[in-house]
Amino acid sequence: MTPAAAIAALDRQIASHGEPVTLRRIGTPDTTFDVSAFVRRATVDPIVPGGDAAQAGTTVVLSPTGLTMTPTRGDQADIAGRRVNIEEVETVRMGATVVRWNLKVSG
């Protein structure tokens, strides 16, 4: 599979099953970018006392298509009316081409 084919497949899946997310970088000026993404909400084991899904984190999968900012740790995202902090960024590449970002968010 080529990088272009991998990105196209991800774009099709996000278009069919994704949800709106606003990426936010605080600065002068603040930068926001509206995208669609896969959002996989964390689940916690109900047997564990004090388990909190917000602390377990949520994974957000982004396509590089049309994204003009590279997400970084410390950025924020608005997901379903909730502001979250980007804690970890995994850049997935095929060769030298970025084909997706996996973000771990919390908050």
Q: How many domains does the chain have?
A: 1
Give the pLDDT score at 68.
86
pTM above 0.85, yes or no: no
Residue 28 neighbours by CB distance under 10 Å? 5
Q: What is the dihedral of CA 105, 71, 60, 95, to 10 degrees?
A: -130
Mean pLDDT, consecutive 10-residue stretches, the chain (107 aa), reads 96 96 90 93 63 67 92 94 95 97 93
Q: Is 69 helix (H, G, I), strand (E, B) or coil?
A: coil
CATH number assigned to the domain comprising residue 100: 2.40.10
Host domain of residue 81: 3-106
